[in-house]
């Protein structure tokens, strides 16, 4: 059975209808599959995991939903698992819904301003969100010509994933992650991700969309450049600030603009150096480089 969740308020419905009448507002149809599988960490450790994917085949990297400001997203979410899951968009009103096993829901939403947002599974006390079911909504300025890169940051404690996968509870006071990833990958593999590794030229305009779908604060430090905050879900009053280190809190999003003023290869890493490790090996965690010619 398919459930339809359109605008849940008359005001939002009227607004969506108004947008649809205007040629500049595209209607985008997309689909997410909720899949269960195992994530291979940087040292090939197998971790029970979930993800929102483009098909019913499990992939540890969550699909991104990309739209322009003013577009209308018509989204279908298919639960391929044998247990109930949920779907919500953080901060978006009246979106939270449950999806029975092997069932489907259809949802509609829109954003009027560029930025980044998080969709996720809030069920099981957000245990499924911690285990992977959290992705990024990218809302672009339709007039922008910037190059775009995407970082979905997360950390993982193997014993917690194994316990939650069996339906058990965990004590978050004893949370000491073993692995740290961007788009499901750690160093050195993350540098092969063309959606994550920033490659450009002096004078380019580059936008980096960052979401933290893990449990821990990640303070991302850039060598070589200062970047400007374009949007921040936690600190909107920080927009316009230029610096080289950006704290991204759990379940928050930050969008940065980089205009390189010098060529070179410069590292980017979490200022919490534990997060630069993976399986106790340094630097097999949140570490990648910018490559500017």
Residue 28 CA: distances (Å) to CA of 65, 68, 109, 125, 252: 10, 10, 10, 31, 24
Residues 219, 180 contacting (CB under 8 angstroms): no
Per-residue model confidence (pLDDT) at position 1: 57
Give pLDDT tens digits for 27-79: 999 999 999 999 999 999 999 999 999 999 999 999 999 999 999 999 999 99
3-state SS, the chain, equals CEEEECCCCHHHHHHHHHHHCCCCCCEEEEEEEEEEEEEECCCCCEEEEEEEECCCCCCCCCCCEEEECCCEEEEEEEECCCCCEEEEECCCCCCCEEECCCCEEEEEEECCCCEEEEEECCCHHHHHHHCCCEEEEEEECCCCCCEEEEEEEEEECHHHHHHHHCCCCCCHHHCCCCEEEECCECCCHHHHCCCCCCEECCCCCEEEEEEECCCCCEEEEECCCCEEEEEECCCHHHCCCEECEEEECCCEEEEEEECCCCCEEEEEEECCHHHHCECCECCCCCEEEEEEC
- Rounded Cα distance between 288 and 271, Å, is 13
Those residues of the chain that have pLDDT short of 50 are 7-8, 10, 14, 17-18, 20-22
CA angle 172, 178, 181 (to 5 degrees): 100
Give pLDDT tens digits for 254-283: 999 999 999 999 999 999 999 999 999 999
172: CB partners within 8 A, 6+ apart: 215
CATH architecture of 150-292: Sandwich (2.60)
Per-residue model confidence (pLDDT) at position 22: 46
The strand order across the sheet containing 179-182 reads 179-182, 147-156, 206-212, 252-258, 227-232, 242-243
- Rounded Cα distance between 240 and 34, Å, is 36
Task: With CA atoms as reference, report the closest residue to 266 among 248, 287, 245, 283.
Answer: 287
Assign domain 2-143 one CATH number from 2.60.40.420, 1.10.3720.10, 3.40.50.800, 1.25.10.10: 2.60.40.420
Q: Is the peptide bond before 89 cis (omega within 30 degrees of 0)?
A: no
Per-residue model confidence (pLDDT) at position 278: 98
Q: Around Cβ 62, how many Cβ atoms within 10 Å?
A: 25
* Domain ranges for the chain: 2-143, 150-292
The strand order across the sheet containing 65-68 reads 65-68, 134-140, 115-120, 85-89, 97-99
């Amino acid at each position: 059975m398919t459930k339809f969740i359109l605008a849940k308020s008359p005001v939002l419905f009227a607004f969506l209808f108004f947008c649809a009448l205007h040629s500049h507002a595209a209607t985008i149809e997309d689909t997410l599959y909720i899949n269960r599988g195992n994530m291979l960490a940087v040292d090939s450790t197998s971790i029970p995991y979930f993800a929102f994917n483009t098909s019913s085949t499990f992939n540890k990297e969550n699909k991104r939903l990309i739209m322009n400001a003013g577009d209308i997203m018509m989204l279908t979410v298919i639960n391929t698992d044998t247990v109930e899951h949920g779907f919500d968009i953080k901060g978006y009103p009246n979106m939270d819904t449950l999806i029975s096993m092997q069932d489907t829901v259809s949802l509609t939403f829109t954003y009027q301003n560029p930025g980044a947002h998080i969709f996720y599974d809030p069920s099981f006390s957000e245990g499924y969100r911690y285990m992977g079911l959290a992705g990024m909504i990218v809302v672009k300025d339709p007039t922008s010509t910037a190059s775009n890169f995407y970082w979905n940051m997360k950390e993982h404690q193997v014993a917690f994933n194994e316990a939650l996968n069996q339906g058990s509870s965990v004590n978050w006071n004893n949370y000491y992650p073993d692995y740290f990833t961007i788009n499901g990958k750690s160093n050195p593999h993350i540098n092969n991700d063309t959606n994550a590794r920033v490659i450009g030229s002096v004078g380019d305009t580059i936008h980096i969309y960052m979401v933290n779908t893990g449990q821990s604060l990640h303070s991302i430090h850039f060598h070589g450049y200062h970047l400007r905050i374009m949007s921040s879900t936690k600190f909107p009053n920080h927009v316009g600030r230029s610096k080289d280190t950006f704290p991204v809190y759990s379940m928050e999003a930050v969008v940065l603009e980089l205009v390189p003023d010098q060529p070179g290869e410069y590292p980017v890493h979490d200022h919490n150096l534990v997060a630069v490790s993976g399986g106790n090996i340094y630097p097999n965690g949140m570490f990648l480089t910018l490559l500017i010619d």
